[in-house]
Amino acid sequence: MVDKIKEVFQLTDKGAKGLIKASVSTVFSYISYMLPLMFVMYFIRDLLMGNLKTPMLYVFMILGIAVVMYMFLYVNYNTLYTETYRESKNLRIDIANILKELPLSYFSRHDVSDLAQTIMKDVEAIEHALSHAIPQAIGLILFLIIVCISMLANNFKMALAIILPVIISFVLLLLSKRMQVYGSTKYYNQLRVNSDKFQEAIELQQEIRSYNQGYKVREDLLWEMDKSEKIHITSEFSQALPLLLSSTILKFALGFIILFGTNLYINGDISLLYFLGYVIGSAKIVFTTEGLYENIGEIMYLDARINRIRELRNTEIQKGERVDIKTYDIEIKDVEFSYNEATKVIDGISFVAKQDEVTAIVGPSGCGKTTVLRLMSRLYDYDKGSLFIGGNEIMKIDTDSLFDKISIVFQDVMLFNTSIMENIRMGNKEATDEEVKEAARLANCTDFIKNLPQGYETVIGENGSNLSGGERQRISIARAILKNAPIILLDEISASLDVENEMQIQNSLNSLIKNKTVVIISHRLKSVENADKIVVMNNGKIDSIGKHKDLLKKSKLYKNMIEKSNITESYLY
């Protein structure tokens, strides 16, 4: 049972046990609500039979009932809230641990805002449902079953007269809620499409205006909004009818039992006491069912949220052990890889990037160069072949050990919205301010940092939005210099630098890459002519490997690329 609950609500072991405790205590607290009713029935019976006991006995009974009710409610409150808040803490920690273990490929395949939603909003919703809807619903259902059985046992006809309408109303409610969940999911998906379109229209204003696309964009937006309005109206209508029927039947159920009961009473089939008892019991069933309806709605909406957590849990994590990597040759053997099953992006490549050497990967755009760097750093795991670092198979190295030894400078630099000092210090948390400044000097950052309002303490805006592409790039190089890892992977780092910057950075790169395993991708072939080894790639395969001069002789593709790049460099506007 614990396992089933864990799976259905995606809870931890403790959470599932807590939920069972909370549900059982809810049943007991509902049963305790029946005690005053039983007391009234007992009192009326004594009154009608002229058999009243001493007033003190009734006073003691009332006090006893109050104490029992207080105890049940106290236990219920404690189990509901303490267990819930403990579980939501555990759930958040559990999800954070899962995120830590997920392969980075997961983040590139999923919307980051969806992930944030899972952690914050989904856990919050589950927390609320755990402390309210779920145990109450389970408690209410068990309570209803108990009340119904005891009513059926005493007077079958009267019991059926209330139970049948309640069941019909309940089925209709489930139908309406299903439709509501289906309709609103469709509606929210459409709202997401709308907001994406709006965002695109705002971000691309410059292009829209310069290519005179305003009319088309407006048409598109109106069409999407029309669509969302239609979906909204259809979903409201489809759920309204069963909902209306359900609540009408429930409301009429009470009137029905009074009519039916009066008829039985007049015919002498039941006593007045039973009649009153059943009317009061039926009222309890109706109100309890109404309470249950509110909870059911909340639980049904939980489905999508629970599925998101389930998907997160079911994602295969990157396994590996802590390995002390001692040497730093990177050896790739017959490696194959595809982002999705349809196309093989890397198709059986083999080469070695040696320690203390610069290995350059060149080739036409889209041939798989960046993907090779991603495989070398385990951002993605390859499908076939093998990849060794210092003789250790990369799939067996945990990502923490790997990233201790690798610095990557990508074309798109990501910066945190904090000070320049802290952004560079990410390369090495232990570094002193002086060491950070030295790294910045080596990466030619000093000049632009000096001109910022608070120098190194300037907060640089979300993702470095207050800096130019070249400046962001130099900060990421400073980070890599500070990290001083033995393996350096550089992906098109000159793409966002101007010529002057590039020359300056070339000097600092030389100090960064000395005595290291360096793998570099550059579309500026001139900058890699001196590399110890150049790997020419084409369509996910290796065309040829060698030094610049050999390749000019043996690789047609390389020769072609060099010629084209010479033309580009001498191009005049």
Q: What does the binding site for ligand ADP look like in residue numbers (CB under 6 A)? A: 108, 339, 345, 363, 365-371
47 contact partners, CB below 8 Å, separation of at least 6: none
3-state helix, strand, coil in the chain (%, to 5): 70, 10, 20
Question: Whole-number minimum distance, CB 102 to ligand ADP, in Å?
Answer: 15
Enumerate the H helices of 315-385 as residue ranges: 369-376
Is the Cβ–Cβ distance between 198 and 229 less than 8 Å? no
Would you say 173 or 379 has its CB closer to ligand ADP? Answer: 379
Q: How far is the CB of 362 from ligand ADP (least distance, A)?
A: 9
Our CB check for ligand ADP shows the closer of 161 and 346 to be 346
Which of residues 53 and 109 has its CB atom nearest to ligand ADP in the complex?
109
Minimum separation from the CB atom of position 365 to ligand ADP (A): 5
DSSP state of 317: P
Buried b (16+ CB within 10 A) or exposed e, 239-268: beebbebbbebbeebbeebbebbeebbeee
User: Nearest distance from residue 207's CB to ligand ADP, in Å?
Assistant: 22
Output 296 or 373, the one with its CB closest to ligand ADP: 373
385 phi and psi angles, rounded to 5 deg: 90, -160
Sort strands 541-546 and 517-521 into parallel, antiparallel or unpaired. Answer: unpaired
Tell the smallest beta-carbon distance from residue 415 to ligand ADP (Å): 21
Q: Closest separation between CB of residue 561 and ligand ADP, Å? A: 12
Amino acid letter, residue 205? Q
Distances (CA, A) of 441 to 105, 307, 415, 453, 463: 34, 49, 18, 18, 22
State which residue, 51 or 365, has the beta carbon closest to ligand ADP. Answer: 365
Q: Which helix (H) or strand (E) holds 238?
A: helix 214-266
**Using CA atoms, how far apart are residues 398 and 103, in angstroms rounded to an integer?**
11
- Least distance (Å) between residue 538 CB and ligand ADP: 10
Instruction: Tell me how far, at minimum, the Cβ of 379 lies from ligand ADP, in Å.
Output: 10
Q: What is the smallest separation between the CB atom of 426 and ligand ADP, expressed in angstroms?
A: 24
Q: How far is CA 514 from CA 420, 475, 485, 509, 510, in A?
A: 25, 19, 11, 8, 6
Q: How far is the CB of 108 from ligand ADP (least distance, A)?
A: 5
CB 141 within 8 A of CB 174: no
Any long-range contacts for 69-78 (C-beta under 8 Å, 24+ apart)?
69/29, 69/32, 69/33, 69/35, 72/25, 72/28, 72/29, 72/31, 72/32, 73/29, 73/32, 75/25, 75/28, 75/29, 76/22, 76/25, 76/26, 76/28, 76/29
DSSP state of 165: H
Q: With respect to ligand ADP, which residue has the nearer C-beta, 507 or 568?
A: 568
Closest CA to 378 of 328, 329, 319: 319
How big is the CA angle at 247 (ends 245 and 252), to the nearest 5 degrees? Answer: 95
Q: How far is the CB of 368 from ligand ADP (least distance, A)?
A: 4
Q: Which is nearer to ligand ADP, 369 or 405 (CB)?
A: 369
Return the number of the residue (198 or 339) whose C-beta is nearest ligand ADP: 339
Sequence-ordered list of residues with C-beta below 8 angstroms from that of 66, at least 6 positions apart, any chain: none
Based on CB atoms, which residue is closest to ligand ADP, 297 or 385? 385
Compute and round to an integer the Cα radius of gyration of the chain: 35
Q: 132 or 344, CB closer to ligand ADP?
A: 344
How many whole angstroms separate alpha carbon 370 and alpha carbon 489? 10
Q: 76 to each of 21, 22, 100, 126, how far by Cα in Å?
A: 9, 6, 36, 19
∠ CA 66-70-74 to the nearest 5 degrees?
175
Least separation in angstroms between residue 544's CB and ligand ADP is 16
Which of 412/500 has CB closer to ligand ADP?
A: 412
Q: How far is the CB of 473 from ligand ADP (least distance, A)?
A: 17
Give the C-alpha separation, 79 to 21, whole Å.
7
Name the residue nearer to ligand ADP (CB basis): 267 or 365. 365
End-to-end CA distance of the chain: 75
CB closer to ligand ADP, 366 vs 391: 366
